[in-house]
Amino acid sequence: MIDLLKNAKILIIEDEMANLFLLKRILQRKGFNFIESTQDPREALALFHSFQPDLICTDYRMPHINGLELVEQLSEHIPQESYLPIVMLTADVNAELEREALAKGAKDFLNKPFKASQIEVRINNLLHTRMLHNTLQQQNERLETLVRERTIELEIARLDVLERLALASEYRDYTTGQHTQRVGELSAQIAKELGLPEAEVELIQRAACLHDVGKIGIPDEILLKPGKLSDNEWFVMKGHVELGTKLLSKGKSPLVQMAELIAFTHHERYDGSGYPRGLKGDAIPLVGQIVAVADVFDTLVNDRPYKKAWTIDEALKEMKCQRGRWFAPSVLDAFLNVVDAHALNS
């Protein structure tokens, strides 16, 4: 995926040579080699058509045509169904400028003086979203053909998830690593141990991977804080549940509907001390109870910015203490059976 992103074509419109040179140098050092540029915004439209960029960076304050006018001009030539991100380069971002630029078609801002780390995250994020959007378009074209021949429910479900992940990518770049996959796999094993149907087990495995998608909306200084959160920070952190639910809401496929339910309920606790609603006992949906166990176990036995990994024995001891408190007894017992079976087969 990273290699594909580095093959993207980037067009820069910046009238100041020093800034143009610096931005190009940062991008090239980050592995981007297909870069076209101009200091004259009047040449931008012709370059846009000949170069066919995947991403455009334009300065705000320029002679002849300012950045807002150029964004508006370029947006008229970008098909409505496509996603071609335009980034505004400026040293004086204010709320009014941001609103106007976003209304005219800009997707993000890069502040001057440029910071290499900021540029890489923002550019990768926008290009990743473009790649996902292009993938969705290709899949949509294939689905239009398949719809006459056979049911496409699974493909629609995958599209549904991809669309929401693409939307999530626009909020903020965030990588969950292997945690989400491990939680999905462990949740499926617990669901299978509980005797749920095979189709539902598969659905849980996929939907559980989106349990913390709302964390993309949490600021880095809170999400990655190496110590204990303050009360205010903890309040913000808990907001990831609401954001994740909003991102997944109104899904048409069973997969996204289950993912929404998991995102909203996996921090509830069996004794009613969880959040966001303080649900108690079996008022918590079973899928939320399952993912709560899988999520806590994987969090305990792996490093986090605020803690070192616990041993498996330490984690199991703590989770057993939370039987009937944090965790539903039947779900925790199923989890312990899965752990025992894994130990016997290791």
Rounded Cα distance between 340 and 321, Å, is 17
Say what the pLDDT of residue 97 is: 84
Say what the pLDDT of residue 122 is: 87
What is the sign, positive or negative, of the torsion defined by CA atoms of 69, 70, 71, 73? positive
Could you give the dihedral angle defined by the CA atoms of residues 161, 165, 167 and 172, in that order, rounded to the nearest 10 degrees? 160
Q: If you ran DSSP here, which 8-state letter would residue 307 be given? A: B
Rounded Cα distance between 36 and 28, Å, is 12
Say what the pLDDT of residue 286 is: 97
In single-letter form, the type of residue at position 191 comes to: A
Q: Is 177 left (phi over 0), alpha (psi -120 to 50) or beta?
A: left
3-class state of residue 318 by DSSP: helix
pLDDT averaged per 10 residues, the chain (length 346):
74 93 91 92 94 93 91 89 89 81 87 85 88 83 68 61 54 55 93 96 89 82 83 91 89 87 96 95 97 95 83 95 96 95 69
User: What burial letters (b/e) apply to 17-52, b meaning 16+ CB within 10 Å?
Assistant: eebbebbbebbeeeebeebbbbbebeebeebbeebe
Say what the pLDDT of residue 346 is: 56
CA separation, residue 313 to residues 5, 282, 318, 320 (Å): 42, 28, 9, 11
Rounded Cα distance between 196 and 188, Å, is 9
Instruction: Sheet containing 34-38: give its strands across.
Output: 34-38, 9-13, 55-59, 86-90, 108-111
**Residue 9 φ then ψ, to 5°:** -100, 125
Q: Which residues contact 9 (CB under 8 A, 6 or more apart)?
A: 34, 35, 36, 51, 52, 53, 54, 55
Nearest in space to 13 (alpha carbons), one of 234, 53, 244: 53
User: Per-residue pLDDT tens for 113-160?
Assistant: 888 888 888 888 899 888 888 888 878 777 777 666 665 566 666 656
3-class state of residue 56 by DSSP: strand
Say what the pLDDT of residue 1 is: 47
Rounded Cα distance between 103 and 101, Å, is 5
Nearest in space to 300 (alpha carbons), one of 286, 317, 285: 317
